[in-house]
Amino acid sequence: MNQIFADVILPLPVKGSFTYAVPEGIDLTIGQRVVVQFGSRKFYTAIVLKIHNEKPKKYDAKELLAILDEKAIVNEKQLQFWLWITEYYMCNLGDVMNAALPSSFKLASETKVMIHADFDGDLQDLNEHETAIVNALLHQEELSVQEIIPLINNKSVFGIINEMIRKEIVLLKEDLHDKYKEKIIRIVELASENLQLKLTEKQEQLLLHFSDLKIQFPKKKWTVTDLIKKAKVSRGVLDALVKKGVFKIELQSISRLLNDFEKTETTKELTAPQQKAFEQIKDSFKDKKICLLHGVTSSGKTEIYIKLMEEQLAKGKQVLYLLPEIALTTQIISRLRKHFGNKVGVTHSHLNNSERVEVWKAVQEKGKSKPQYPIMLGARSALFLPFDNLGLIIVDEEHDPSYKQHQPAPRYHARDTAIYLANIHKAPLLLGSATPSLESYYNATESKYNLVELNSRYQGLEMPKIKCVDIRKAHLKKQMQAQFSPKLLNEIKETIASGKQVILFQNRRGYSPILSCTTCAFTPNCKHCDVSLTYHKWQNQIKCHYCGYAENIPTVCPSCTATDFDSKGFGTEQIQESLNALLPEATISRMDYDTTRKKYAHQEIIREFEQGRIDILVGTQMVTKGLDFDNVAVVGILNADNMLHYPDFRAYERAFQLMMQVAGRAGRKGKQGKVLLQTYDEKHKVIQLLKAHNFKQFYSEQIDERKIFNYPPFSRIIGITLKHKDKNRLDKASNQLAIQLRKSFLHRVLGPEYPSISKIRNYYHKDILLKIEHKASVKKAKTILNSIIKKLQEQKDFRSVRIILDVDPV
């Protein structure tokens, strides 16, 4: 009988797949997980990619050690998808496997396990192996799989541990850190209406204030903190009223996991323009598979998606709905669950391993039973779920740069990758945006995609009015209060006084970007990176936004020993602080990277804002995207200029999209919204086009420039970054690489150059760009590039130089 071999994918950054011998009598399927030894002592979970009879020529194939699953856990469509990503984005198959699978699906010898907190300690139901492992874990808090192997003397250790994870006896160490703590708030309510009690003056004042607030905002709930702040009384006054039985305090969890997904909404009727767009989209799928829906903000794109999803559901197909950010999934998931109940699943990078496993299983069709989540909503990693039967992919906010993964590999763009995934499933793909990317809009004008337009807001509401505020003048006249012009500040005051809400956008987090000595202008830099540290006032620290390095604010200047520091520029944290001082009555919250690192933090902030418990929401780009709030009357853009003056060929496109999107958050229901845009440069053409809501003009000017300078979509870019701790060696390597590349690619090679931040985490960086014309074969170019890089890395001197490829960088 012929010996059988299996090519397997290892969860490691190594090129290609590896061949192992399949022991006799073992029945193997593609997509199954197996355990293999790789290197002298290490064991890994691998995925079977191919089964064949060809003995490897260069090495003796080791035997597979064990099979982990009865059935394939990755289907063939997924494997085809992984292979495409590997080739297109020039990365390793193992990188894709790592991105795709939840961590407990890929146990390795180094994986650490611990006792699950919920395990009751009862050893009775455990088998012999499980008992041995639990006993060992009672003595030692954590064990690596490698350490467990001798305990049970059994080759199927991965299988045993997997089963113990499933039974919640043990968990992976990495899961330990994201236990979720519920946030509880205290809501004040009247306990009884007509009490004949004697109240003190302060108590009277609080009760009156509360009644006023209830009349002004009948639906709004008041927390203890907000109420005593508004009424300007102490906590003691409120406590006394609770004691007297006037008020009661109810504890509420504002972040209850959305576990209760009752379908509550009858389907909304599409308006005539929406219906027309809906029909056009369906029509367009008949001849072309990709359609771009260009619909202004609040035109009801989401309602159209819902209708399209309903149709797929009726046909028994799956739908993937991609969003660029976790913050957005929060709102859309509740909208979808109102329509589809518990048929909608959600996934994003904040899920822990067990939650990811659950989602994976719920998407997978097991035997004949239907997947539990025919509709999956998610950020980019949702592309890797085990879909088998996709009928439609929707890429919402398709222009958003967050769709691109920067670190680690695979450095894929979720929108472009979704196009390939749709293709595998022969499913149509809908791209949606109010501000399409130049690339997609170009494809639509070139008839590669179909274009459907929706030019009016729901209920014919007018687009928000965008007004510029010249802060140069305000500065000259010394009218600025902190970062606010009198116009913006007044507008904010009036808005919240009338019970409406405000969103303020500043494209920079932290307190202020730069701290400098007032005497000698010294500015502290990161020890490991070539950037100045950002001032975070709240923590009284300066931090590096590239490597996380932090130090306390210096008390004396290391350069001149003076003791006075001043800060330049401002971030979201400083805006919040200024507002707290300027408008002590208002409730102000902040949404940026720093306030949303905890699990469900987005959800909490968004929900508090929806429920009217926040008057002003300050944030970075996170507040600009797709959010749908009913009560936002004014949007303020604190500084439009820093986005425009950014050295990148996409700077104008980004600035236009960001400002147009954040403007779109204003006046979504009832009344036209207002946008105040603070700028030094009112005449700037991007700002003028923004004021006119003129996307088409903006597009045509930009696309002309891209053509002249041969930037995407007229060319493809591959970014090559070289990194090394030794600057000299890096220079030599990158010069040599550029020379070699120029031999094949001529003028298409740009650089090497130091990027604007030339050192990160002690590694110097150098960039080379390859620009390939659209007509040329990218495939061929990639093959040449790979072989040139390989030759460079074969030189002893350059072996330690790290080379990172980024295909279609954004």
Q: Which residues bind Zn ion (CB under 5 A)?
A: 526, 528-529, 544, 546-547, 549
Q: How far apart are CA 707 and CA 700, in angstroms?
A: 11
Partner that binds at residue 307, options ligand ADP, Zn ion, none, CB closer than 5 to 8 Å by kind: none
**Nearest in space to 618 (alpha carbons), one of 635, 599, 640, 639:** 635
The strand pair at 514-517 and 565-568 is best described as antiparallel
Q: What is the contact mask toward ligand ADP in residues 302 to 331, using x (rule: CB under 6 A)?
A: xx----------------------------
Using CB under 6 A, which of the segments 299-307, 445-453, 644-652, 704-712 binds ligand ADP? 299-307
Q: Supply the minimum distance, in Å, between the C-beta of residue 689 and ligand ADP.
A: 20
* 458 sits near ligand ADP (criterion: CB under 6 A): yes
* 338 sits near ligand ADP (criterion: CB under 6 A): no
Using CB under 6 A, which of the segments 47-55, 290-298, 311-319, 590-598 binds ligand ADP? 290-298
Partner that binds at residue 274, options ligand ADP, Zn ion, none, CB closer than 5 to 8 Å by kind: ligand ADP
The site that binds ligand ADP (CB under 6 A) totals a number of residues, namely 16
DSSP state of 269: P
Q: What is the contact mask toward ligand ADP in residues 601 to 630, using x (rule: CB under 6 A)?
A: ---------------------------x--
Partner that binds at residue 526, options ligand ADP, Zn ion, none, CB closer than 5 to 8 Å by kind: Zn ion
Residue numbers 661-690 binding ligand ADP by CB under 6 A = 668
Q: Which of 17, 92, 103, 298 binds ligand ADP (CB under 6 A)?
A: 298
The strand pair at 112-115 and 33-38 is best described as unpaired
Q: Which of 271, 280, 342, 642 binds ligand ADP (CB under 6 A)?
A: 271
Q: Which of 295, 391, 513, 636 binds ligand ADP (CB under 6 A)?
A: 295
Residue 254 near residue 607 (C-beta atoms within 8 A): yes
* 398 sits near ligand ADP (criterion: CB under 6 A): no
* 268 sits near ligand ADP (criterion: CB under 6 A): yes
Report residue 539 as tokens: 């923590």
Using CB under 6 A, which of the segments 27-35, 235-243, 262-270, 738-746 binds ligand ADP? 262-270
Partner that binds at residue 301, options Zn ion, ligand ADP, none, CB closer than 5 to 8 Å by kind: ligand ADP
The strand pair at 674-679 and 715-724 is best described as unpaired
Q: Supply the minimum distance, in Å, between the C-beta of residue 331 and ligand ADP.
A: 9
Q: Which of 109, 162, 223, 297 binds ligand ADP (CB under 6 A)?
A: 297
Q: How many residues does the chain have?
A: 810
Q: Cβ neighbours of residue 682 under 8 Å, at least 6 residues apart?
A: 468, 470
Q: Cβ neighbours of residue 16 under 8 Å, at least 6 residues apart?
A: 92, 93
Q: How far apart are CA 591 and CA 598, in angstroms?
A: 12
Q: What is the contact mask toward ligand ADP in residues 493 to 532, using x (rule: CB under 6 A)?
A: ----------------------------------------
DSSP state of 447: T
Report residue 387 as tokens: 């879909």
Task: Select 335 or 528, whichever has its Cβ closest to Zn ion.
Answer: 528
Q: How far apart are CA 485 and CA 90, in angstroms?
A: 49
Partner that binds at residue 754, options ligand ADP, Zn ion, none, CB closer than 5 to 8 Å by kind: none
Q: Supply the minimum distance, in Å, between the C-beta of residue 453 and ligand ADP.
A: 12
* 735 HSE (CA, 13 A, CB side): 6
Alpha-carbon dihedral sign for residues 580, 581, 582, 585: positive
- Angle, vertex CA 175, rays to CA 173 and CA 179, nearest 5: 125
Beta-ladder partners of 318: 390
* 274 sits near ligand ADP (criterion: CB under 6 A): yes
* 595 sits near ligand ADP (criterion: CB under 6 A): no
Partner that binds at residue 546, options ligand ADP, Zn ion, none, CB closer than 5 to 8 Å by kind: Zn ion
Tokens 């709930």 belong to: 221
Q: How far apart are CA 741 and CA 88, in angstroms?
A: 19
**Nearest in space to 620 (alpha carbons), one of 708, 719, 507:** 507
Spell 532-569 as b/e; 16+ CB within 10 A means b. Answer: bbbbbbeeebbbbbbbebeeeeeeebeeeeeeebebeb
Q: Supply the minimum distance, in Å, between the C-beta of residue 265 and ligand ADP.
A: 10
Q: How far apart are CA 665 and CA 612, in angstroms?
A: 15
* 753 sits near ligand ADP (criterion: CB under 6 A): no
Q: Supply the minimum distance, in Å, between the C-beta of residue 29 and Zn ion.
A: 47
Q: Which of 221, 289, 294, 301 binds ligand ADP (CB under 6 A)?
A: 301
Beta-ladder partners of 453: 294
Q: How far apart are CA 77 and CA 803, in angstroms?
A: 30
Using CB under 6 A, which of the segments 41-49, 157-165, 294-302, 308-316 binds ligand ADP? 294-302
Q: What SS3 class is residue 147?
A: helix
Residue numbers 186-205 binding ligand ADP by CB under 6 A = none
Residue 560 near residue 517 (C-beta atoms within 8 A): yes
The residues binding ligand ADP (CB under 6 A) are 268-271, 274, 295, 297-303, 458, 628, 668
